[in-house]
Amino acid sequence: MICFLTLGFKTSSMASPIDDLTLGRAAGYSVLAGSALTKGDANSISGDLPSEAGIYPTMVATTLANSFVTTGASDFQNGTTSAADAQTDLSTAISAIALLTPTLVSALFSNQTLAPGVYAAPPASALAITVGLVLDAGGDPNARFVFRTDAALNIDSGITVQLTGGAQERNVFWMVGSAVTVGAGSDIPGNFLVVSAATIEATTIIRGSLLCESAVTLGANSQIIYNHLSVLGGALSISAPGSVSLGSTASPSSVSITVGSVVVSDLRGVAPGGGWVASAVASNLTSAVGGLIPASDIGYSPGTIFITGTVVTSGNDQTDLASEQTIVTASAISGNNTATWTPTITVTIPSGIANGEYTATITQSVA
């Protein structure tokens, strides 16, 4: 008896769209402007990680730029490729947020406590914060809060947005389709992604980043406190080849083939000690004539694993993919990393099955 075998491959996402949200190359910037950057006296950037401040495409005088970059900032990107790349990824992030499914809120936040999620004003409606706001992560330090308006965002003077329940500054996003104004003396966490002008009034504190496609104006004695934002966002993803043919063979027998590259890309900027696990599961091999080769007869061997970045990986050979099995584990991660392998797939063909073309799908995932 002769069998013709074809295996398809697919990947499954383990994250929701809000979890996949990333600032890309803009994540390294505490302040990013497009058309102009104006500062008052004694502005500062501080924080526990070096950051970039920059402007693109407009270029400003280096002396002004350097006087802005103070404690915690490593450099000012003045019309550079780095600043251009950051602007590109800022635009991508703004577009991604626009696609998220929101909970519609009134144009006014007033002394509310909000759970994680995506909140948006009705179309063409501004958002305003006139009384303090509390963001409660409910004990999940990875919970994200996204606020979106395609009009303006106005935050009154003296407003404090508090984080509780483990909420993190890096996981708060304010996407503003028009202009944003943060009133004097306010204290606001998160990443501002602004299409039009951004105005931060005197003595205001932004605990995160201020990223703008247009002009940025910083009032006297305002501060950008940049904490751990270079590890913000980024996705953990896996890619796989499309499909392969194992050729034809008689039964009973077994057949093996090395398929194309499987790549795990980890752009989450994980703190030292993190990890991930890649898994695989197969469907049964079936044919139009009614024959079946069970997924328990499909094996998977990742082989040699090639890495970039700081990560330790180990492969796990599996002989039965009828249920989800671990194929590669990663540990001791620090920062971004990738892992690539070319797996060998083995199919054991039982005796007595009907001639025909048999197909199955192997699904690989990472979490």
CATH 2.60.40 domain extents, the chain: 2-15+234-366
Residues in the chain: 367
Specify whether the CB–CB gap between 205 and 26 falls below 8 A.
Answer: no
Q: How far apart are CA 35 and CA 198, in angstroms?
A: 11
Give one DSSP letter per residue of 157-185, joined into a string. Answer: TT-BEEEETT--GGGEEEEESS-EEE-TT
Burial class (CB in 10 A: 0-12, 13-18, 19+), 73: buried
pLDDT at 231: 35
pLDDT at 213: 96
Specify which residues 29 forms β-bridges with: 52
Specify whether the CB–CB gap between 352 and 303 falls below 8 A.
Answer: no
Specify whether the CB–CB gap between 350 and 223 falls below 8 A.
Answer: no
Amino acid at 228: H
- Of 163, 34, 17, 31, nearest to 93 by C-alpha is 17
Digitized pLDDT (tens) for each residue of the chain, 367 residues in all: 445 556 676 666 444 567 667 788 888 888 999 988 888 776 667 665 557 788 899 877 655 655 665 555 557 788 888 899 899 989 989 998 998 899 999 877 878 999 999 999 999 999 999 998 999 999 887 889 999 999 999 999 999 999 999 888 988 999 999 999 999 999 999 999 999 999 999 999 999 999 999 999 988 888 888 764 433 445 788 888 777 787 777 778 888 988 888 999 887 766 667 889 999 999 999 988 888 899 999 999 999 999 988 899 999 999 999 999 999 999 998 777 889 999 999 999 888 888 888 898 999 998 8
pLDDT at 191: 94
Determine whether domain 2-15+234-366 maps to CATH 2.60.40.
Answer: yes
pLDDT at 106: 84
Amino acid at 215: A
Specify whether the CB–CB gap between 51 and 74 falls below 8 A.
Answer: yes
pLDDT at 175: 97
pTM of the complete model: 0.61
Q: How far apart are CA 293 and CA 59, in angstroms?
A: 65
